[in-house]
Amino acid sequence: MPQLAAKPIIDLLVGVRSLAMAQQVTVTPLAQLGYAYWQENPDPRRLFFVKGLPPNGPRTHHVHMVEPHSPLWERLRFRDYLCQHADEAARYAQLKYRLAQDLAGDREAYTRAKADYIESVMQKVRQQCVR
């Protein structure tokens, strides 16, 4: 979304019936398109592919494959909430810029450091859905 602060990488969230089946049929075709499969991914709720891993250039795309009932679908609700609440989007941008400076080069630490904030926003999102 143009109004959200983000890295210059396109994230795609793809629903699949079965991660095991998707792994069998997608790794080779995506590799032929330049996507590297992260086999050691510590998150068992998704398959993760990256296009542009060094030395093949800068990262340009991430593909996250998840099953229909994966909690990762909440990422779309988080994005939509930020698009509807400019003040919250600004707070998130400030946090991301600060963490990017403080944790430069450590993607996992950066992601972990955002987790509490993201959960606080998701509590607001869930409360809206209850009303």
pLDDT exceeds cutoff 80 at 34: yes
More confident residue, 131 or 116: 116
Mean pLDDT, all residues of the chain: 90
pLDDT at 22 over 80: yes
Which residues, in sequence order, are CB contacts of 66 under 8 Å at separation 6+?
A: 13, 14, 15, 16, 19, 45, 46, 72, 73
State the Cα angle at 45 between 41 and 49, rounded to 5°. 45
Q: Report the C-alpha gap between 97 and 114 in whole angstroms.
A: 11
pLDDT digits (tens, 9 = 90+) for 63-121: 999 999 998 898 899 999 999 999 999 999 999 999 989 998 888 899 899 999 999 99
d(CA 13, CA 11): 7
User: Which two tokens mark 53?
Assistant: 């891993």
Whole-angstrom distance, CA of residue 101 vs CA of residue 88: 20
Residue 2 has pLDDT above 60, yes or no: no
Domains and CATH numbers, the chain: 10-69 (3.30.460.10), 73-130 (no CATH)
Task: Report pTM.
Answer: 0.81
